[in-house]
């Protein structure tokens, strides 16, 4: 352990990046291929086989409608596998260990092996437990997170034709409404396990979810209020900046005051501000940006609590409650709980990206934007066109998906880092923090944003 | 530390929870029968003895030589101290004077052992507080280095069997003192690192300040020793209050904490003790008669790390005052010796009838006495604090149950 300038575990960090690259390639290659097959290839083959047949047209359209569903279904299990592996390797990096590095090449297949193992394990029903509710609990925990995520697909693919249908005018409310259902699953699982630790874990989860959903929703409402839209696609698109403001890149994101700073800079450069206005406008723009950063912080804190991650993982506090609500679960049921936990982490990160970090917008104008990806996609599409197949990618969607994924995983890694750093709250401190600090703060911010918005 | 969660209209019932013996956070096989009102602990009953191995009885049925190897396992995180207590008790009966160099080696290795023990405590305590995968592993980085040093000198990483009746087993190999010196140079920086992450961490402070307050009077009444009582403000440290070995020749302070004696004080006390132990090691390396092994060889005019410590030189360079063999005998008589272990006072009372086996052994184990104060601390605490308090006492279950 010499204190040289180069980190001694540079090698491990390199391996971690390699692993992430390979897995992300697998995930998005698979999802892209599935979406392309269902949304473009199969409908076109049907139409080619039965030209001018209205029935075939209906069938083809129906299959196209399935694309978002298929995309999500392919994405979730593979993504959860990668996230578990990334979390274990990432934590190992933070704690001077190696992490799983035995199964497959350098541990790449560890979670795949774990998944297979869990599938083949026995489903144990606890003695005296309510079997029906015990079985339903993981499903109720998992299903909403899948359905809740669907509107976000339109936002992260720049409103691609295939995903347009899943967009809702009130998309973000739908996402929030769905994300509050899983707690029912936790309480059910805790109660049905006939285990005191599980019961305490389930009840804690209910208390925690209620207290932290309020600041979380308030933070999102405030931002929607600032942006003036509930439509996730709209919110994401607006953060690209309109007209001449687009050149300011990441300053357009809601994180930096929902366009207040570019607006100010633009006016300043055009020389439309005079005298004291230069200072006051700057002040209010920065104040709005500060409010937005705080809102994002509140959202991330609330989201951490909502998905039971350290430092808010009280429902499954290992040192107190063994494993909390999932103590009695085994086999596939446990796997579903596990899967849902990581999917939820991904979804809350995506919501944060769409709401604050510009969705699919590139942070620097011209850097890896739609044109760059279009130039990559053109040869593929030409080759496919020669074979008589539909085009595989278009630059706009590729760029949007790439940046949305990049930002989402940045937030996921941030969550892993937090997990590697902080101890756990106590339940009463947690509730105090939620009710006495976060809720007043988010209400104050709602008021502040209302006024500052007019002054900018 | 109590939280009001009750209301007169609400019908509530008490819930009994069995925490342990199979629970991820009870550090072994302790069973706590908790009576909970909501999340508040109303009554605690520790159930001991799941790990009872009849260590005292075994001592009476094994030769001194065998038992010396066995006794390390009682407190497996600080094996040096149990061996040392037993060795001192037997030396007292025999009237042996342990050579100076051996005493210094005992001090150096014991203080190293104190550091490893506290480091492990630090890691597991943070796990208890829910820092599940984070910094608990950092302490193991330093601990591994010390274990490597232990391995070089004692041949074992945890069950050393290094301190024997009449001295210590062998001289450290060449280069060992240099490595240790390098460790002592960098270790304070490492503690600074831990403190940077932990001591000022707001969540950690919230979880530990004012939690599990152990008052001076309670601590004295229950016979609490070690860092737990020093954190409550009583400077009870046998190294100072009843000096033994070469501790009087070394310059160090007893670390006590002002204030309530909450879990934070116990944490802080251990952190300071690690720094102090590091200082002791540094001094002992300088003061050891004969110096490092290389210097000693030069002095004795022999080469190679072989035995035969040349009988006619300064007796303080010797390692053993008694010949070690399987038929080792101790004169008839009785003796009591106590040493300051990382967990408190380890006392060994032994009666010998002059044969190769002891007639009677009686151990005073710090973990057992410290654990007895647990119900006092836990009543009124919420369930989440149970592990924060229990962990801060730092008990080792084999040491409790023997």
Tokens of B74: 């009682």
Name the DSSP letter for residue A273.
-
CB spacing of A318 vs B25 below 8 angstroms: yes
Residue numbers in A near B186 (CB within 8 A): 1
Residues in A touching B24 (Cβ below 8 Å): 318-319, 322
pTM: 0.83
Q: What is the mean pLDDT of chain A?
A: 84
DSSP labels for A294-347?
HHHHHHHHHHHHHTT-TTS-GGG-HHHHTTGGGTT--HHHHHHHHHHHHHHHHH
CB B156 within 8 A of CB B146: no
* Element of type H or E holding B14: strand B14-19
Among B138, B186, B201, beta carbon nearest to A95? B138
Chosen from A423, A424, A436 to mutate, greatest number of chain B CBs within 10 A: A423
- Residue B1 is predicted with a pLDDT of 45
Instruction: Please say whether the dihedral angle defined by the alpha carbons of residues B132, B135, B139 and B141, taken in this order, is positive or negative.
Output: positive
State how far the Cα of A41 lies from the Cα of A38, in Å rounded to an integer.
Answer: 6
Q: Where are the beta strands (DSSP E) in B115-220?
A: 163-164, 167-168
Q: Which residues of B touch A (CB under 8 A)?
A: 3, 15, 17, 23-25, 39, 126-138, 140-141, 186, 197, 201, 203-204, 206-207, 382-388
**Shortest Cα–Cα distance, B18 to chain A (Å):** 9
Q: How distant is the Cα of A99 from the closest Cα of chain B, in angstroms? A: 11
pLDDT, residue B7, reads 63
**How high is the pLDDT of residue B132?**
62
DSSP B235-271: ---HHHHS--TTGGGS--------SS--HHHHHHHHH
The rounded distance, in Å, linking the Cα atoms of B77 and B81 is 10
Alpha-carbon distance of B301 to B308, in angstroms, equals 12
What is the pLDDT, as a whole number, of residue A60? 85
Residues of B in contact with A424 (CB under 8 A): 129-132, 203, 207
Distance CA A360, CA A174 (A): 20
Biggest CA pair distance of chain B: 87
User: Helix B100-128 vs helix B263-287: angle between axes, to the nearest 10 degrees?
Assistant: 150
CB pair distance less than 8 Å for A95 and B382 = no
Number of CB pairs < 8 Å for A and B? Answer: 96
Whether B132 sits inside 8 A of A419 (CB atoms) is yes
Residue among B17, B130, B204 minimizing CB distance to A310: B130
Token output for A82: 């990668």
pLDDT at B349: 93
Q: Pull the structure tokens for residue A369.
A: 């934007």
What does the pLDDT read at residue B304?
Answer: 47
pLDDT 10s digits, B350-360: 999 988 888 99
Contact between B359 and B61 under an 8 Å Cβ cutoff? The reply is no
DSSP secondary structure string for all residues of B302-350: --SS-S---TTS-GGG-SBSS---TT----SEEEEEEEEETTEEEEEEE
**What residues of A are in the B interface, CB distance below 8 Å?**
1, 91, 94-97, 196-197, 200, 310-311, 313-314, 317-320, 322, 419-429
Domain ranges of chain A: 1-90, 121-455
User: What distance in Å separates the CA atoms of residue A150 and residue A304, rounded to the nearest whole number?
Assistant: 21
C-alpha pair distances (Å), A382 with each of A33, A379, A402? 17, 5, 22
Phi/psi at B164 (nearest 5 deg)?
-120, 165
Q: Which residues of chain A have pLDDT under 50?
A: 1-5
Cβ neighbours of A320 in B, within 8 Å: 25, 383-384, 386-387
Cβ atoms of B334 and B350 within 8 Å: the answer is yes
Quick check: A421 and B197 CB within 8 A?
yes
Distance, in Å, from the CA atom of B224 to the CA atom of B265, rounded to the nearest integer, reads 15
To the nearest whole Å, the CA of A322 is away from the closest chain B CA by: 6
pLDDT at B3: 52
**ipTM above 0.85 for this complex:** no
Q: Which two tokens stand for residue A425?
A: 């709250």
Residue A29 DSSP class: H
Task: Report, as ranges of residue numbers, the positions in chain B whose pLDDT lies below 70.
Answer: 1-12, 132-136, 301-316
As a whole number of angstroms, the distance between CA B147 and CA B159 comes to: 11
Which residue in A200, A319, A428 is closest to B24 by CB distance?
A319
Residues B374, B33: Cα–Cα separation, whole Å: 12
What would the pLDDT profile of B131-170 be if each residue is shown by its tens digit?
Answer: 765 556 778 888 888 999 999 888 888 888 888 888 888 8
Question: Which letter, b or e, does each residue of B175-192 get, where b requires 16 or more Cβ atoms within 10 Å of its Cβ?
Answer: ebbeebeebbeebeebbe
Q: From CA B177, how far away is CA B155, in angstroms rounded?
A: 16
- Which of A97, A317, A426 to mutate to probe the B interface, most B CBs <10 Å? A426
Domain coordinates of chain B in residue numbers?
64-397
Within 10 angstroms of residue A273's Cβ, the number of other Cβ atoms is: 16
What's the CA angle centered on B12, arms B11 and B17, to 5 degrees? 165
Q: Which spans in A157-259 are helix H?
A: 171-179, 182-192, 196-227, 232-238
**Contact A352/A299 with Cβ under 8 angstroms?**
yes
Best of B131, B209, B387 to substitute, by most chain A Cβ atoms within 10 angstroms, is B131
CB A233 within 8 A of CB A155: yes
CB-CB neighbours of A176 under 10 Å = 18
Q: Are A255 and A266 in contact (CB under 8 A)?
A: no
**pLDDT, tens digit (0-9, with 9 covering 90-100), for A202-234:** 888 888 888 888 899 999 989 888 888 888 888
| CATH code for the structural domain at B64-397 | 1.10.645.10
């Amino acid at each position: 352990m010499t204190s040289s300038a180069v980190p001694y575990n540079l090698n491990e960090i390199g391996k971690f990046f390699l692993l992430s690259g390979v897995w992300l390639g697998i995930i998005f290659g698979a999802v892209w291929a599935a979406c392309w097959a269902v949304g473009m290839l199969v409908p076109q083959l049907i139409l080619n086989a039965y030209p001018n047949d209205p029935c075939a047209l209906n069938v083809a359209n129906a299959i196209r409608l399935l694309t978002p569903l298929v995309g999500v279904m392919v994405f979730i299990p593979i993504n959860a596998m990668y996230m578990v592996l990334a979390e274990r390797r990432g934590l190992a990096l933070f704690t001077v260990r190696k992490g799983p590095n035995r199964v497959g090449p350098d541990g790449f297949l560890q979670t795949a092996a774990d998944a297979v193992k869990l599938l083949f394990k026995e489903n144990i029903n606890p003695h005296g437990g309510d079997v029906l509710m015990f079985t339903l609990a993981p499903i109720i925990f998992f299903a909403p997170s899948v359905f809740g995520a669907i509107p976000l697909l339109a936002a992260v693919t720049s409103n691609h034709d295939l995903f347009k249908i899943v967009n809702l005018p009130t998309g973000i409310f739908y996402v929030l409404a769905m994300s509050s259902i899983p707690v029912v699953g936790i309480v059910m699982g805790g109660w049905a396990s006939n285990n005191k630790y599980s019961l305490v874990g389930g009840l804690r989860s209910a208390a925690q979810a209620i207290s932290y959903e309020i600041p979380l929703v308030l933070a999102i409402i405030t931002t929607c209020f600032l942006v003036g839209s509930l439509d996730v696609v709209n919110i994401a698109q607006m953060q690209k900046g309109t007209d001449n403001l687009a050149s300011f890149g990441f300053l357009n994101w809601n994180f930096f005051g929902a366009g207040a700073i570019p607006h100010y800079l633009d006016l300043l450069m055009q020389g439309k501000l005079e005298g004291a206005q230069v200072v006051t406008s700057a002040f209010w723009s920065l104040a709005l940006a500060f409010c937005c950063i705080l809102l994002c912080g509140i959202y991330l804190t609330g989201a951490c609590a909502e998905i039971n991650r350290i430092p808010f993982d009280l429902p499954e506090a290992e040192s107190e409650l063994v494993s909390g609500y999932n103590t009695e679960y085994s086999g596939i049921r446990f796997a579903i709980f596990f899967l849902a936990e990581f999917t939820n982490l991904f979804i809350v990160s995506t919501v944060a990206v769409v709401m604050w970090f510009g969705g699919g917008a590139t942070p620097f104008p011209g850097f890896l934007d739609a044109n760059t990806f279009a130039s990559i996609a053109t040869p593929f599409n030409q080759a496919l066109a020669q074979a008589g197949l539909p085009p595989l990618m278009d630059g706009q969607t590729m760029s949007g998906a790439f940046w949305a994924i990049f930002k989402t995983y940045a937030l996921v890694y941030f969550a892993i880092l937090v997990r590697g750093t902080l101890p756990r709250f106590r339940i009463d401190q947690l509730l105090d923090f939620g009710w006495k600090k976060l809720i007043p703060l988010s209400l104050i911010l709602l008021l502040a944003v209302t006024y500052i918005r007019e002054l900018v | 530390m109590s939280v009001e969660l009750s209301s007169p209209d609400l019908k509530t019932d008490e819930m009994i929870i069995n925490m342990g013996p199979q629970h991820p956070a009870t550090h072994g096989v302790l069973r706590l029968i908790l009576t909970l009102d909501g999340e508040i602990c109303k009554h605690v009953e520790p159930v001991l003895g799941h790990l009872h191995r009849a260590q005292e009885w075994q001592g009476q049925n094994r030769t001194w030589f065998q038992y010396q190897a066995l006794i390390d396992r009682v407190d497996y995180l600080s094996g040096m101290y149990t061996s040392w207590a037993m060795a001192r008790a037997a030396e007292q009966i025999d009237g042996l004077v342990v050579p100076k160099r051996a005493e210094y080696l005992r001090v150096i290795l014991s203080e190293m052992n104190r550091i490893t023990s506290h480091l492990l405590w630090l890691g597991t305590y943070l796990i208890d507080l829910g820092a599940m995968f984070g910094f608990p592993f950092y302490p193991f980085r330093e601990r591994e280095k010390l274990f490597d040093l232990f391995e070089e000198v004692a041949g074992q990483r945890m069950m050393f069997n290094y301190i024997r009746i009449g001295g210590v087993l062998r001289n450290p190999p060449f280069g060992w003192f240099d490595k240790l010196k390098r460790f002592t140079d960098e270790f304070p920086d490492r503690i600074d690192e831990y403190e940077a992450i932990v001591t000022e961490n707001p969540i950690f402070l919230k979880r530990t300040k004012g939690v599990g307050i152990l008052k001076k009077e309670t601590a004295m009444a229950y016979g609490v020793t070690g860092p737990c009582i020093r954190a409550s403000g009583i400077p009870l440290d046998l190294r100072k209050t009843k000096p033994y070995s070469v501790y009087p020749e070394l310059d160090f302070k007893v670390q006590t904490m002002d204030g309530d004696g909450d879990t934070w004080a116990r944490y802080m006390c251990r952190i300071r003790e690690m720094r102090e132990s590091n200082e002791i090691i540094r001094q002992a390396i300088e003061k050891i008669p004969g110096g490092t092994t290389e210097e000693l060889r030069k002095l004795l005019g022999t080469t190679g790390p072989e035995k035969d410590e040349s009988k006619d030189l300064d007796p303080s360079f010797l390692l053993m005052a008694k010949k070690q063999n399987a038929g080792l005998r101790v004169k008839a008589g009785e003796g009591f010796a106590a040493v300051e272990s990382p967990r408190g006072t380890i006392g060994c009372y032994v009666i010998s009838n002059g044969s190769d086996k002891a007639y009677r052994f009686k151990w005073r184990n710090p973990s057992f006495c410290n654990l007895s104060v647990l119900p006092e601390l836990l009543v009124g605490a919420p369930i989440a604090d149970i592990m924060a308090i229990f962990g801060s006492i730092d008990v080792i279950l084999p040491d409790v149950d023997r």
